[in-house]
Amino acid sequence: MTDLDLRLLRYFVRVTECGSFTDAAAQLHVSQPALSQGIRRLETLVGAPLLLRAPRGSTRGLQLTRSGAVLLTDAKEILVRAERAVKSARRSADRVELHIGFGTSTPRALTRAVLDAAADVGHVEAILEYIPWGEEVATLRRGDVDLTFLQAPRQFAHAELDTVAVQSMRRVAAFSAGHPLTPRAEVTMADLADEPIIDAGSDRDYWIVNPRPDGSVPNAVGPAARTVDEMLAFVSAGRGMAITTTSVAERNGSPDLVFLPIRDIEPATVFLAVNRVDRRPELAAIIERTTAAAAAAA
């Protein structure tokens, strides 16, 4: 079998994303004939057509054949893994550079703990990388970071990741100032039954609690918040309430917002996550030290 050229896979994926050879060639900085020749070489290697070209004058764009659809899924994964392999090799020098992801909801004490843990290892340079809400797993899988914090249900698991629970975070209800429930010390899920809740752009069912403990569906209002800051802006404007964690409440003290503990809901869990295939001892040491520091501070 002829060796597979990653460049041909990049050509194929970009053509499918653009929907035309002209646009794909411009983005790839190659001539259109060279791009077409590359796709033909890939089809020869596969032994089947991958794309159906529209007849001249037709408004119908490119379409994938059945073989093309199968290859597209695998091609994207192969390119992600190839990029990850290069990044991992690049970081394997004597001085280990590790990129550690954190988000708006990551407790500050944990970011300090992970930096201290990296310093204790001795030959590690730790670089913190901010990750938007909902991008934690994708960023880790791409190899953009080596280790990341994420908040999820305590039963969270992913086939490609190893996760270690570091800390529990109580979930709280966020209201705009002046909301009828804000004089209370805490609330229950029954208190929130009829409250409009800001729709969540990530891990939707978990953060809006769908379904509710009584089996009902929450009254989610849009547009769905794409970031924590966006969610709190909607709450402050009176669009609805939201459910978040104490770490977010501690970072976002404001006269426009009130955060109340929810008495009868499971807390969120903060995990440290790493690619399952990444067995570098430095990462294992940082995870162990960070987890121990969090346990000692609890």
The sign of the CA dihedral 181, 187, 190, 194 is positive
HEC readout, 3-47? CCCHHHHHHHHHHHHHCCHHHHHHHHCCCHHHHHHHHHHHHHHHC
160 vs 173: CA distance, rounded Å: 32
Q: Do domains 6-89 and 91-169+269-297 have the same CATH topology?
A: no
Kindly tell me the sign of the dihedral angle through the C-alpha atoms of 148, 154, 158, 162.
Answer: positive
Displacement of CA 40 from its chain's centroid (Å): 35
Q: What angle do CA 238, 242, 243 make, to 5 degrees?
A: 160
The residue ranges of every structural domain in the chain are 6-89, 91-169+269-297, 171-266
CA nearest neighbour of 246 among 108, 54, 131, 40 = 108
Q: How far is the C-alpha of 296 from the C-alpha of 25, rounded, in Å? A: 56
CATH architecture of 6-89: Orthogonal Bundle (1.10)
Taking Cα atoms as reference points, which of 52, 243, 20, 228 lies closest to residue 135? 228
Which residues have CB under 8 Å from 110's CB, separation 6+? 102, 149, 166, 167, 270, 290, 294
Contact 51, 62 (CB under 8 A): yes
Binned average pLDDT, 10 residues per bin, the chain of 298 residues? 80 90 87 89 90 64 87 91 80 75 92 93 89 92 94 93 95 96 96 95 93 94 91 95 94 89 95 93 94 91
CA distance 75 to 67: 12
CATH 2.60.120.260 fits 91-169+269-297, yes or no: no
pTM reported for the whole predicted model: 0.68
Running DSSP on this structure, what letter comes out for residue 132?
-
Nearest to 128 by CA among 157, 152, 105, 103: 103
Burial class (CB in 10 A: 0-12, 13-18, 19+), 261: middle
Torsion of CA 50, 54, 55, 59, to 10 degrees: 180
DSSP H helical segments within 122-182, as ranges?
136-142
CATH of domain 171-266: 3.40.190.10
Longest dimension (CA), the chain: 72
Which pLDDT value is given to residue 157?
92
Q: Which residue has the tokens 């917002």?
A: 257
pLDDT of residue 54: 66
CB 202 within 8 A of CB 132: no
